C-alpha cells in the first residue's frame, strides 16, 4: 500500500462511496422505498463498507486497519446478499441488479487487495 494520508484518497473508499450512493438512489424509489426493513438494511450495509474503511485508516496500527477492512469486505458481502433478495422480489430491474452487483463485487475485490497489502506490510513481506 502506497503512503496514503487520508481515507478519502483510497480507491477502496471511493468505490464504497459510489456503491453507497447507488444503493441510496435505488432504495428511495417505490416500491422498494416502502420496504423499510430491506431498504434500511441495505443502506446500513453500504454505509458500513465505507465507514469501516475510514475508521480503519484512522486507527493507529496495521492490525487495526486489517481488522476494519475485513469488516468492510464482510459488509459488502452482506449487501450483495441483499441485492439478490431485492432482485428476487422485483424491486430491482435486471439492469440495476447487474450494475449494482458488479460495483459491489469490484468494491469487494479492491478492499480485498488493500487488505492483502496491509497484511503483507504487517508481516514485513512487502
Would you give per-residue pLDDT tens digits along the chain (126 residues)?
A: 457 789 999 999 999 999 999 999 999 999 999 999 999 999 999 999 999 999 999 998 899 999 999 999 999 999 999 999 999 999 999 999 999 999 999 999 999 999 999 998 877 765
- The grid coordinates listed for 106 are 469490484
| CATH of segment(s) 9-123 | 1.20.1440.60
For the chain, the structural domain boundaries read 9-123
- The grid coordinates listed for 75 are 459488509
Give 8's DSSP letter. G
CA 56 to chain centre: 13
Question: Residue 94 to residues 83, 106, 118: CA-CA distances in angstroms?
Answer: 11, 18, 36
CA-nearest of 10, 6, 9, 114 to 62 is: 114
pTM: 0.92
SS3 state at 59:
coil
Amino acid at each position: 500500500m502506497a503512503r496514503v494520508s487520508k481515507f478519502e484518497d483510497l480507491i477502496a473508499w471511493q468505490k464504497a462511496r459510489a456503491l453507497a450512493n447507488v444503493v441510496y438512489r435505488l432504495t428511495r424509489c417505490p416500491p422498494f422505498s416502502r420496504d423499510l426493513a430491506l431498504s434500511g438494511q441495505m443502506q446500513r450495509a453500504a454505509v458500513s463498507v465505507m465507514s469501516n474503511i475510514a475508521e480503519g485508516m484512522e486507527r493507529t496500527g496495521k492490525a487495526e486497519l486489517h481488522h476494519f477492512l475485513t469488516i468492510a469486505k464482510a459488509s459488502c458481502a452482506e449487501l450483495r446478499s441483499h441485492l439478490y433478495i431485492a432482485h428476487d422480489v422485483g424491486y430491482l430491474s435486471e439492469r440495476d441488479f447487474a450494475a449494482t452487483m458488479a460495483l459491489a463485487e469490484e468494491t469487494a475485490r479492491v478492499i480485498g487487495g488493500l487488505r492483502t497489502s496491509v497484511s503483507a506490510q504487517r508481516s514485513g513481506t512487502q
